[in-house]
Structure 1
Amino acid sequence: MRLSHALPAGLLAVSLSACGGRAADSTLLRESFDSGDTYSRTVPGSPATACEAARRTLLSQGYAIARYGSDAVEANKNFQPRDDEHEQLVLRISCAPRGDEALVFISAVQDRYALKKSPTSASVGVGALGSVSLPFGSNDDSLVKVASSTVQDADFYRRFFARLQQYLPAAAAGTPPPPTPAEVPSDAIPATPPAPPAPAAVPTPPEPVPEATPTTDVPAPQA
């Protein structure tokens, strides 16, 4: 039997990675695209209801809502683990229809910043030579991004979806379905312009009264 057939699969993988160098250790090659539900769950209700429940979930945990719509929510939260470090957690949620239910996707990105000092030099005018920069001055402190990674902790997303389920009933009650044509409020329908008023009736002038003919008194005959 050949030796290569007797080698365990693990040793073969090690030998292949040694031949391929660092390419085999790349993070991209470890993406499996499996069928797990770490980053998505199906919840009852419409996408608008699911995103409203997600917005309430984030607000209850101190997140600042950066963008909100009927199909997407984005929020962030800041942390200060040490005086010279700053962290920000950005959550992006998308809601899509799935039959009579909604499919909720979530992705959390953790950004880390460090306080860096950048020395600034002072300029001094020296006659005809113009200005000369001297190696003394002040230090300007600024935050510089030093790392950014997607959160892959399954427990983190599990806690989010568990909290989301608690807000679904309230979100469904506070998010009415889109009105049907019969339910559209009357003020949203353009009113029919009123008909022009009928012309006023012209009064008929009264008929002239004929003048009375004067009568002459005839004396009665004497007997």
Structure 2
Amino acid sequence: MPRLLSLALPALLAALLAGCSGLPSRSTKAEKSVYQGESFAAEETFSRLFDANVEDTCEAARRALLSQGYVISKAESGVVRGAKHFQPAGEVHVEIAFNIVCVGDGPKQQIATAYVSAQQDRYALKKSNQAASLGVSALGSISVPLSSSDDSLVKVASETIPAGEFYDRFFTLMQRMLRENTASR
């Protein structure tokens, strides 16, 4: 029997190692990393050139956000930040946050480029129930069920909204706000 065991053990180990070689390893993953999807293509732009100075361009961005119900958290010196909250379903919450940076261009900084990116965060309602019992030893064992529920929003996804029609609509509204603001002077 020991001789049979000594012959079977190496064969068993060889079969085990051969089976493990078929498992995927972390280093041979076929998935691309997120950064590999970044194309840095000229047509996928998050910026537009405006025929106005930095101050007027950022003011147009601020007014565009305000006109759509966004709450402005920062509006100073070439930077505007604003956010808006949505609840598309009963237990889902979405927040869109805009970040706008206005940079002067040209020899006398008479024109400005607005760099805009918007981030969408998705939250889901997480429910947790906790139960406990109370025992009073002087009266014997009395168990009273005590329960509490604690609901909280948990971030389940976050992404920068890709360049496209969303930003085109925003830049069009910014241009309109810029025209209205400069026409009133």
TM-score, normalising length from structure 1?
0.62
- 1:19-168 superposed matches below 5 A: 20-23=28-31, 25-36=32-43, 38-99=45-106, 100-122=110-132, 124-127=134-137, 137-168=147-178
Per-residue CA deviation, residues 49-94 of structure 1 (Å, 9 max, x unaligned), is 0000001101111111111113010001111110011000000000
Unaligned runs of 5+ residues in structure 2 are 1-26
- State the Cα RMSD in Å: 2.4
Deviation at 1:172, TM superposition (A): 3.5
Query: Which residue identity is paired with 1:151?
Result: I
Query: Any idea what SS the aligned residue of 1:56 has?
Result: helix
The answer as to whether partners of 1:110 and 1:150 remain within 8 angstroms in 2 is yes
Deviation at 1:126, TM superposition (A): 4.1
Moved over 6 A (4+): none
- Shift in alpha-carbon separation, 1:30–1:134, aligned structure 2, 3 A: farther
Figure out how many residues of one structure are paired with residues of the other and give that number: 152
Greater fraction strand = 2
Deviation at 1:118, TM superposition (A): 1.2
The answer as to whether partners of 1:62 and 1:77 remain within 8 angstroms in 2 is yes
Could you tell me how far apart the structure 2 residues matched to 1:20 and 1:64 are?
46
2:181 is the alignment partner of 1:171: yes
Query: Which residue identity is paired with 1:111?
Result: D
Unaligned runs of 5+ residues in structure 1 are 1-18, 176-223
Larger Rg: 1
The answer as to whether partners of 2:85 and 2:94 remain within 8 angstroms in 1 is yes
Could you tell me how far apart the structure 1 residues matched to 2:102 and 2:44 are?
15
